[in-house]
Amino acid sequence: MSKHRRYRRALRWSLLLLALVLVLPLVPYAVAAGGTQFNTPGVELWDAVRARVQGPMRTQVEGVQSNQLINYWGDQWRLFRSQLLVPIGAVMLLAMLGIITVFYLVRGRIEIEGGRSGVLVPRFSVNQRVVHWLAATVFIVLGLTGLVLLYGRYVLVPLLGPEGFGVTASACKEMHNLFGPLFPVAILAIMFSFGRGNSFRGIDFQWFLKAGGLFGHAMADSGYYNGGQKTWFWLTVLFGIAMSVTGLILVFPNFGQGREAMAVAHVIHGVVAVGFITASLGHIYIGTLGMEGAAESMTNGYVDAAWAKEHHNLWYAEMERAGMVGVSPNTMEEVKRHDDRDFRGFGQPLGRREPLDPTVSPPNRGPTGGGISPAATPSAPKEST
């Protein structure tokens, strides 16, 4: 073969290869324009991933919603948590702390008018105090661990670092899950121990109109529980039930509940938890630093007679008539009387009693009998306007 023919053959093959290089990349566009598509392995799967398809998929894995590739509710919960729950919850908590601080600076601690009398009145039994502190302990553990899980990355990461926060968050998660099932038990115990006498009555609305006397020196009339205590009781019960139900749904995801139910439960759990913790700050403040003599009812079960007359005057009058004022602590007779529900102020509040005459000694009721000695008789409560 001559050199000229070899050259022409090489030229033809070169032109053919150039044509293939230029034309072949255009074939898929021509096929797509003609309406013909070629399915590749996994194309349906990745099309569903990119399009966030909500419908069920085919799978060999059996389980609740195991054939659902993308769940819309999970993403919505993530957005709700990061954009609403975290910032609004922080505002609520900081606002409550600010209100308490301003109230303390302006109003100061609510002291017992005229000072203590030195005479004791039994208020809460041992069983009630055990239930109260059991519920308080569980609530504090769950509240603190929940706040770490909700705000830890914003507060603790700068202090502990990512590794330290990871260990802390993991420990808080385990504690939260372990103590969580105890909370419904504590709520039920609260309901049975403190439920009686916490129904609202007309006198409680008068207490609300006067704000319980918190902003003045004229205290509102009150029976065994005042309007604020009844409100806290029902908030505890309702919030506690909501927290318990949603918490159990989240801790035990093996009862057939799907992701939608768990996402909704998570939303309710987070919202109620933030509201519950915010309200508890006010309860803790009034029960400790904010009011003189209030904490004693839950530490030793007794209150000073002057405190009882000032803050629960109708209940105090009933207890005085029943011989329950001035009893000696830790006596069998006191326990018997204290457990007698006839003298607990649960009925319709009695009318205001006339002030005691300090020159007249009360009838002798024995070594454990009621009655305030003339020297220890507190001044009569001021008439509320």
* pLDDT tens sequence across 124-157: 888 899 999 999 999 999 999 999 999 988 888 8
Q: Which of 33-47, 214-228, 262-276, 353-367 has the lowest mean pLDDT?
A: 353-367
Q: Which pLDDT belongs to residue 366?
A: 37
HEC secondary structure over 169-197: HHHHHHHHHHHCCHHHHHHHHHHHHHCCC
Q: Where in the chain is the domain with CATH 1.20.950.20?
A: 75-108+126-194+226-297
Is residue 63 within 8 A of residue 259, CB to CB? The reply is no
Instruction: Give the gyration radius of the chain's Cα atoms.
Output: 35
Q: Which pLDDT belongs to residue 341?
A: 43
Q: Which pLDDT belongs to residue 61?
A: 63
How far is Cα 170 from Cα 311, in angstroms, rounded to an integer? 45
How far is Cα 267 from Cα 277, in angstroms, rounded to an integer? 16
Token digits for 277? 């913790």
Q: Which pLDDT belongs to residue 97?
A: 94
Greater pLDDT, 89 or 258: 89
Kindly state the percentage of the chain with pLDDT values over 70: 69
How far is Cα 36 from Cα 156, in angstroms, rounded to an integer? 57
Q: Which pLDDT belongs to residue 380?
A: 38
How far is Cα 296 from Cα 121, in angstroms, rounded to an integer? 11
pLDDT band at 173 (very low <50, low <70, confident <90, very high): very high
At residue 102, does pLDDT exceed 90?
A: yes
What average pLDDT score do residues 308-320 get? 89
CA distance from start to end of the chain: 127
* pLDDT tens sequence across 193-239: 999 889 898 888 888 888 877 776 667 788 899 999 999 999 999 99
* Number of other residues whose CB lies within 10 A of the CB of residue 242: 18
At residue 243, does pLDDT exceed 90?
A: yes
At residue 376, does pLDDT exceed 60?
A: no
Residue 46 burial (C-beta neighbours within 10 Å; 0-12, 13-18, 19+): exposed
Is residue 321 within 8 A of residue 140, CB to CB? The reply is no
What average pLDDT score do residues 179-198 get? 93
DSSP states along 64-103: TTTTBS--HHHHHHHHHIIIIIHHHHHHHHHHHHHHHHHH
How many degrees, rounded to 5, is the angle at CA 174 between CA 169 and CA 176? Answer: 90
Domain 75-108+126-194+226-297 has CATH 1.20.950.20: yes
Q: Which pLDDT belongs to residue 209?
A: 86
Averaged pLDDT score across all residues of the chain: 78
Only one residue has tokens 């053919």, namely 16
- Bridge partner residues of 120 (DSSP): 304
pLDDT band at 59 (very low <50, low <70, confident <90, very high): low
Q: Which pLDDT belongs to residue 32?
A: 62
Greater pLDDT, 353 or 90: 90
The sign of the torsion formed by the CA atoms of 210, 212, 217, 220 equals positive
Q: Which pLDDT belongs to residue 33?
A: 59
At residue 37, does pLDDT exceed 90?
A: no
How far is Cα 107 from Cα 371, in angstroms, rounded to an integer? 33
Q: Which pLDDT belongs to residue 353?
A: 41
Q: Which pLDDT belongs to residue 9?
A: 74
How far is Cα 75 from Cα 349, in angstroms, rounded to an integer? 53
Phi, psi (degrees; rounded to nearest 5) at 56: -70, 150
Q: Which pLDDT belongs to residue 256?
A: 73
How far is Cα 374 from Cα 361, in angstroms, rounded to an integer? 6
Q: Which pLDDT belongs to residue 362?
A: 41
